[in-house]
């Protein structure tokens, strides 16, 4: 499998690594988990559910209509 991948990468004229890299798969996975958690925190902080969005629109609409009375 590795040889076929190397051949494929050579066709794309990309430079191949001479070694296996500087960090282990374990460390890379741990780093990915940390970054994913940061992403999730940011996403969740800015999340507004469909229900909340509709309630907000309805409350604005009701305030406008009540002013007309």
What does the pLDDT look like over 15-26, one tens digit per residue?
A: 777 777 788 889
Is the Cβ–Cβ distance between 54 and 61 less than 8 Å?
no
Structure tokens at 56: 């907000």
Whether 39 is covered by a domain: the verdict is yes
Q: Give tens-digit pLDDT for 4-62.
A: 887 888 888 877 777 777 888 899 999 999 999 999 998 888 888 899 889 888 888 88
Q: What does the DSSP assignment read for 47-62?
A: ---HHHHHHHHHHHHH
Res 32: pLDDT: 97
Res 36: pLDDT: 97
Question: Which pTM value belongs to this model?
Answer: 0.45
Structure tokens at 21: 């890299």
Res 1: pLDDT: 64
Whether 51 is covered by a domain: the verdict is yes
User: Sign (positive/negative) of CA torsion 26, 30, 35, 40?
Assistant: positive
Q: Domain range for residue 48?
A: 18-67
- Number of domains composing the chain: 1
């Amino acid at each position: 499998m590795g040889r076929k991948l190397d051949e494929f990468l050579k066709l794309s004229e990309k430079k191949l690594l001479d070694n296996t890299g500087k960090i282990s798969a374990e460390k890379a996975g741990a780093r990915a988990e940390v970054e994913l958690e940061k992403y999730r925190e940011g996403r969740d902080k800015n999340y507004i559910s469909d229900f909340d969005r509709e309630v907000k629109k309805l409350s604005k609409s009701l305030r406008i209509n009540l002013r007309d009375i």
